[in-house]
Amino acid sequence: MRKVGIIGLGLIGGSLALELGEQGWQVLGVSRQAKTCQIALEKGIVHQSSTNLSLLQTAEIIFICTPLAAIIPTLEDLIPYLNNPQTIITDVGSVKAPIVNQCSQLWHYFVGGHPMAGTAEQGIEAAQKNLFVGTSYVITPTEKTPLEAVEKLAKIALSLGSNVHYCTPEIHDRAVAWISHLPVFISAGLIDACLGEKDPQVITLAKKLASSGFRDTSRVGGGNPELGVMMAKYNRESLLRSLYDYRQHLDYFIELIESQQWESLDKKLQQMQQERPTFLG
Amino acid sequence: MRKVGIIGLGLIGGSLALELGEQGWQVLGVSRQAKTCQIALEKGIVHQSSTNLSLLQTAEIIFICTPLAAIIPTLEDLIPYLNNPQTIITDVGSVKAPIVNQCSQLWHYFVGGHPMAGTAEQGIEAAQKNLFVGTSYVITPTEKTPLEAVEKLAKIALSLGSNVHYCTPEIHDRAVAWISHLPVFISAGLIDACLGEKDPQVITLAKKLASSGFRDTSRVGGGNPELGVMMAKYNRESLLRSLYDYRQHLDYFIELIESQQWESLDKKLQQMQQERPTFLG
């Protein structure tokens, strides 16, 4: 029976475990917390479970599903337990270059991955089937990544119902800076700016009148703070580049309004209306 | 039978007509287009219909439901037909100060209103019952507005199922600049900045990977261009003030990321997460 190891039994790790177990893999789950191991076993999410990485010794492929900051230290801790140098190791982190560059040096059969799935819920209790169906799974090999590792991961991603994309870690990080990380800070800035309103009558009324436009535009800015900090910390360079560019584009809108160039503003907004659907496939 | 006049038979005017007709009002509808008048009659949305404002001579209350730019000229055209100086006239424009200041001078019994209801659809065909249920209806009297006019409009707004708020036209415009107009330009800036990406590999991947975060944050920026221009044109001062403030708050986020102040960034994002729900009652 083919064995898969999963380290970190949260929403992503737990959901992966559920899917792969159903596909006939022997699922070995590792969590730092004994309680999580117990829940995973009780719920039938994993076949075996431990707080000790030695459990994964004989796995064919291992998914590191920890938060970003723990991926590299986890790989360092894991390596001494592995007998087979062709064990494939992958991660699910939302930033790739800093992870992949270091992990590839530590382990030749490392291949970076980023399943872009999620819900508002977190933790093993939120694990669910079909979480990955129709979502994007980005695989980010380097020039040195063994093709076999890439192919095995792609096959698993496809089996989850994901759409698989391949690119370098750097291209990945620049693309997600635009469509995933930049929106968080644009959106947080909106909430922060509104809260800065000094007139109590204005802010009280604004809070009463806020409806779908404010709700949607502020959603990701009011999301998980830990995740926002991780994006900024690990994808700092690409995010800053996007933020600087964004500021220039915002300034152009401000300039059009200052100088009352209504025709140009209309053209620009028409272009936005036409182009937005090209992002929403 | 009490008569209500409605000028402009689009989504808002048509939906108002439907509701008031059901409540027992005699509904007189005016549209610039004969075809719209015909549809409104055929669908039973109005009792009488004309392209001529003289139809409204005997109405007790008249709603001007035209686009913002047409409100003042419409009132000027309407006044010569009215015999009773206590006919109440109101509008449904999304910006209040420039409208109310001028209209109040033209007609003593004018009272500004802003029903904050809508759908993605527009026009008479989109008119529907219950459009106003649970939405905000802002009434913006000045010091000189007759109390009777305010009270009659409030009674109608309540009868639609709306939550009624009262404030000056200026406070209204500053509040909606924050929660309705600013989000449009923040959001348009996001789409525009992404489209500015020069690397074809990055932009192609970004478009493929964009999902709910991008979709929500870009929604209002990719909306009706005409509406965006009207907001900017009529609420220019408040919008610019909000945009300048926003830029400062965004710069503070950029500064925290540049200087790697992760603890401060975390605190700030925690604050955004806590405060956002205070806008979503």
Assign A122 a pLDDT band (cuts: 50, 70, 90).
confident
Contact A253/B at CB under 8 A: yes
Instruction: Answer yes or no: do B214 and A258 touch at CB < 8 A.
Output: no
Q: Which residues in chain A are contacts of B275 at CB distance < 8 A? A: 191, 195, 222
The pTM (predicted TM-score) of the whole model is: 0.93
Report the mean per-residue pLDDT for chain A.
96
For residue B182, the tally of other CB atoms under 10 A from its CB is: 27
Q: In the numeric block, which tokens belong to residue A112?
A: 């970076």
Amino acid in the structure at residue B114? H
Contact A254/B at CB under 8 A: yes
CA distance A220 to B208: 19
Do B124 and B96 meet the contact criterion of CB atoms below 8 Å apart?
A: no
| Antiparallel, parallel or unpaired: β A61-64 and A88-91 | parallel
Contact B276/A at CB under 8 A: yes
Do B156 and B17 meet the contact criterion of CB atoms below 8 Å apart?
A: no
Contact B176/A at CB under 8 A: yes
Of B109, B2, B128, residue with least CA distance to B64: B109
Res A63: pLDDT: 98
CA distance B110 to B98: 13
Res B119: pLDDT: 74
Residue A120 has pLDDT above 80, yes or no: no
Do B222 and A276 meet the contact criterion of CB atoms below 8 Å apart?
A: yes
Q: Is the dihedral of CA B11, B16, B17, B23 positive or negative?
A: positive
Of B186, B253, B121, B136, residue with least CA distance to A216: B186
How far does the CA of residue B138 sit from the closest CA of chain A (Å)?
9
Q: Which residues in chain A are contacts of B228 at CB distance < 8 A? A: 265, 269
In tens, the pLDDT along A62-93 reads 999 999 999 999 999 999 999 999 999 999 99
How far does the CA of residue A33 sit from the closest CA of chain B (Å)?
24
Instruction: Answer yes or no: do B175 and A206 touch at CB < 8 A.
Output: yes
Instruction: Answer yes or no: do B171 and A202 touch at CB < 8 A.
Output: yes
> Which residues have C-beta within 8 Å of that of residue B57, sequence separation ≥ 6?
B81, B82, B83
What would the DSSP string read from start to end of B203-256? HHHHHHH--HHHHHHHTGGGS-HHHHHHHHHHTHHHHHHHHHHHHHHHHHHHHH
Res B121: pLDDT: 78
Three-class secondary structure of residue A35 per DSSP: helix
| Antiparallel, parallel or unpaired: β A163-166 and B110-115 | unpaired
Residue A97 has pLDDT above 90, yes or no: yes
Contact A67/B at CB under 8 A: no
Q: In the numeric block, which tokens belong to residue B110?
A: 């004018």
DSSP state of B124: G
* ipTM exceeds 0.90, yes or no: yes
Res A119: pLDDT: 74
Do B201 and A167 meet the contact criterion of CB atoms below 8 Å apart?
A: yes
> Which residues have C-beta within 8 Å of that of residue A277, sequence separation ≥ 6?
B222
CA distance A66 to B150: 59
Average pLDDT estimate for A182-199: 98
B119, B172, B211, B236: best to mutate for the A interface, most A CBs within 10 A: B211
Contact B205/A at CB under 8 A: yes
Of A54, A56, A58, A3, residue with least CA distance to A27: A3
Three-class secondary structure of residue B130 per DSSP: coil
In tens, the pLDDT along A27-40 reads 999 999 999 999 99
Contact A69/B at CB under 8 A: no
How far does the CA of residue A243 sit from the closest CA of chain B (Å)?
7
B94, B179, B236: best to mutate for the A interface, most A CBs within 10 A: B179
Res B176: pLDDT: 97
Res B262: pLDDT: 98
Instruction: Answer yes or no: do B174 and A279 touch at CB < 8 A.
Output: no
Q: Which residues in chain B are contacts of A266 at CB distance < 8 A? A: 225-226, 229
- Option in A176, A196, A214 nearest B209 (CB): A176
Amino acid in the structure at residue A36? T
Contact A166/B at CB under 8 A: no
Helices A182-195 and B262-275: crossing angle in degrees, nearest 10, is: 70
Which of B 11-30 lie inside 8 A of A, CB atoms? none
DSSP state of A162: P
Do A17 and A37 meet the contact criterion of CB atoms below 8 Å apart?
A: no
Contact B52/A at CB under 8 A: no
Contact A117/B at CB under 8 A: no
Res A263: pLDDT: 98
Q: Each residue of A170-208: b (16+ CB within 10 Å) or e?
A: bbbbbbbbbbbbbbbbbbbbbbbbbbebeeeebbebbbb
Res B281: pLDDT: 78
> Which residues have C-beta within 8 Å of that of residue A215, sequence separation ≥ 6?
B279, B280
One digit per residue, the tens of pLDDT, for chain B of length 281 reads 899 999 999 999 999 999 999 999 999 999 999 999 999 999 999 999 999 999 999 999 999 999 999 999 999 999 999 999 999 999 999 999 999 999 999 999 999 999 998 777 789 999 999 999 999 999 999 999 999 999 999 999 999 999 999 999 999 999 999 999 999 999 999 999 999 999 999 999 999 999 999 999 999 999 999 999 999 999 999 999 999 999 999 999 999 999 999 999 999 999 999 999 999 97
Do A186 and B192 meet the contact criterion of CB atoms below 8 Å apart?
A: no
In tens, the pLDDT along A3-24 reads 999 999 999 999 999 999 999 9
Q: Which residues in chain B are contacts of A175 at CB distance < 8 A? A: 202-203, 205-206, 209
